[in-house]
Amino acid sequence: MAFPKTLGELKSSQYNEQKYKNRSVKDEMRENLIRKLQFGETVFEGVVGYEDTVTPQLVNAILAKHNIILLGLRGQAKSRILRSLVNLLDDYIPVVSGSEINDNPYAPLCRTSKVKLAEMGDETPIDFVPRDRRYVEKLATPDVTIADIIGDVDPIKAARGGHQLSDELTIHYGLLPRANRGIFAINELPDLAGKIQVGLFNIMQEGDIQIKGYPIRLPLDVAIVFSANPEDYTARGKIITPLKDRIGSEIHTHYPATVDAGVTITRQEAWIKRPLIDGLSLSLPKFIPEIVEHIAFVAREDSRIDKRSGVSQRLPISVIENVISSAERRAIINRESLVVPRISDIYASLPSITGKIELEYEGEQLGHEKIARDLIKRATGQAFMHYYSKAEYSKVVDWFNRGGSLKVSDSEPSEKYLATLKKIPGLIDLVAFSNTVALDKAAEVVSAAEFLLEGLYAQKKLARNEQNVYTVAKQEKQSARYYTDWSDTGGVN
């Protein structure tokens, strides 16, 4: 598509329509949103689990032309949603060439553009700005200044142009004016100093800003959106009340409501479809992502983990990536052709869990690693009941009761491991009962068998010690509040 290059050409093009002359950015977003709704298009690409909660509220706020704040704990897709708003802008808009603040050729704001139009008239050069350049984002930190956001005097401009410092041509525009005719986003708003928040009042209420007390007004056209974490209100700062009063819609985000939604998000965001070396292929049993997702769900309900900090959706994303990497490492070392994650690979991914949970006092006494191991155990137990709630596994338990034991390893070759597992009566039959893997593939059968044994351990039918050996379960009284700690599960005879 050939764009007009001068103001005269612009006036003779489709961009001479009234909507391009004085349509605000919020009107633009509203019109494009309505078009998406009419044609049944996805409004926010890649945002899962908010279809009945956050998304309708966002749609209502945009239709109402509100400034918006997304309020929620870490890892709830706040930044993704803010950045996806750019898809509600036009593909391109015309601006005065060289303008720092995307000046509308029909109604320029800054002095430089006004002078250019007065001197050149219809010969004024025009540029077209794509929508991704109309989104400006700033992470709020305590050291952000008014000059960063609004602007300041630029002595270098004054010296080079021979201007007085009071001349409008000496202004260096901040991020907010540079977002003119676009979207300005501030992440973690409570971290922004109170006096800087005050500086946002005029633009939100009156639509204009003043720089360094200059007797000028810039009636900017900008949609302002924020994100914030409720914990930050007291931990690091707060949103001052007058600013909150000027935000049209406060929308609360949340973690996935179901495990299935969580699995969908994790599959979408995690590096699962990775390039493997020649001869390797990945098979991911469906219970593995479910267990990984259950870890996050169990952690969010655990009283030993700080709920104010939350358990980010980044936890299962990082865990599944590490799980696959552990299985990949095993396949490479043992020269196997199939990469199939096991429960032991989830335990090998402890570093992806311990760094993403904040513990309460009781949890601190036990330590991050012990808590993480307990989360894996409980998560496996929940997934186990989905597949084996009606299974008869007495033969397997009886074998351990008669003195059998089994050591698991995340590096054991699949064929060798399977030969050992076949010695346990009824175990392979139970793998077939679950209907989760291909029985002709040793690596998949091993993964399913290990899932079964870990599920029995979670149900307290078996014990597992610190050396990763499954043995007969102890009969002594155990805590009713938590599952047994690894240090209390006995050893190998």
Q: What is the pLDDT of residues 204-262, one digit of tens each?
A: 776 666 666 565 677 889 999 999 988 755 445 688 888 888 899 999 999 999 999 99
Chain center to CA of 1: 35
Q: Please give the mean pLDDT across all residues of the chain.
A: 87
Q: Reply yes or no on whether the pLDDT at 492 is more than 80.
A: no
Flag whether 28 is in a domain.
yes
Q: Reply yes or no on whether the pLDDT at 476 is more than 60.
A: no
Q: Are residues 302 and 201 in the same domain?
A: no
What pLDDT is recorded for position 220?
87
Flag whether 278 is in a domain.
yes
Q: What is the pLDDT of residues 95-139, one digit of tens each?
A: 999 898 999 999 898 888 988 999 999 999 999 999 999 999 999
Contact 22, 30 (CB under 8 A): no
Higher-pLDDT residue of 180, 486: 180
Q: Are residues 359 and 473 in the same domain?
A: yes
- Which helix (H) or strand (E) element contains residue 59? helix 54-63
Mean pLDDT confidence for 319-326: 97
Q: Are residues 137 and 171 in the same domain?
A: yes
Flag whether 1 is in a domain.
no
Number of independent structural domains in the chain = 2
Q: Are residues 385 and 403 in the same domain?
A: yes
Q: Are residues 248 and 322 in the same domain?
A: no
Higher-pLDDT residue of 10, 150: 10
For residues 139 and 3, give the distance between their C-alpha atoms in angstroms, rounded to a whole number: 34
Q: Are residues 221 and 306 in the same domain?
A: no
Give the residue among 451, 444, 403, 443 at the shortest CA–CA distance from 423: 403
Q: Are residues 239 and 361 in the same domain?
A: no
What pLDDT is recorded for position 491?
35
Residue type, 468: N
Question: Domain of 37?
Answer: 7-252
Q: Reply yes or no on whether the pLDDT at 264 is more than 90.
A: yes
Q: Reply yes or no on whether the pLDDT at 169 is more than 80.
A: no
Flag whether 339 is in a domain.
yes
- Which of 252, 274, 296 terminates a domain? The answer is 252
Dihedral sign, Cα of residue 42, residue 43, residue 45, residue 51? negative
Cβ neighbours for 17, distance < 8 A, ≥ 6 positions apart: none
Flag whether 296 is in a domain.
yes
- Which helix (H) or strand (E) element contains residue 444? helix 442-458
Q: Are residues 165 and 217 in the same domain?
A: yes
For residue 263, how many C-alpha atoms fall within 13 Å in the half-sphere facing its CB? 14
Q: Are residues 275 and 353 in the same domain?
A: yes
Q: What is the pLDDT of residues 241-252, one digit of tens each?
A: 888 888 999 999
Q: Reply yes or no on whether the pLDDT at 43 is more than 90.
A: yes
Q: Are residues 248 and 263 in the same domain?
A: no
Mean pLDDT confidence for 10-34: 85
Count CB atoms within 10 A of the CB of residue 367: 12
Q: Are residues 287 and 183 in the same domain?
A: no
For residues 453 and 373, give the distance between their C-alpha atoms in angstroms, rounded to a whole number: 15
Q: What is the pLDDT of residues 54-111, one digit of tens each?
A: 999 999 999 999 999 999 998 999 999 999 999 999 999 999 998 989 999 998 988 8
Flag whether 2 is in a domain.
no
Strand pairing class (171-173; 151-153) = antiparallel
Q: Reply yes or no on whether the pLDDT at 273 is more than 90.
A: yes
For residues 275 and 281, give the distance between their C-alpha atoms in angstroms, rounded to a whole number: 9
Long-range contacts of 256-260 (CB under 8 A, 24+ apart): 256/48, 256/49, 256/293, 256/313, 257/49, 258/49, 259/290, 259/293, 259/294, 259/297
Q: Reply yes or no on whether the pLDDT at 483 is more than 50.
A: no
- φ and ψ at 82, to 5 degrees? -60, -45
Instruction: Specify the CATH number for the domain of residue 239.
Output: 3.40.50.300
What pLDDT is recorded for position 166?
56
Tokens 């095993």, residue located: 330
Flag whether 117 is in a domain.
yes
When pLDDT is cut at 50, 70 and 90, the band that residue 477 belongs to is very low
Q: Are residues 124 and 216 in the same domain?
A: yes
Cβ neighbours for 468, distance < 8 A, ≥ 6 positions apart: 344, 347, 407, 408, 409
- Which of 220, 252, 284 terminates a domain? The answer is 252
Alpha helices in 273-413 (DSSP H): 287-301, 314-333, 343-347, 351-354, 361-366, 368-388, 394-401
Flag whether 493 is in a domain.
no
Q: Reply yes or no on whether the pLDDT at 191 is more than 90.
A: no
What pLDDT is recorded for position 484?
33
Give the residue among 60, 53, 18 at the shortest CA–CA distance from 37: 60
- Which of 252, 280, 304 terminates a domain? The answer is 252
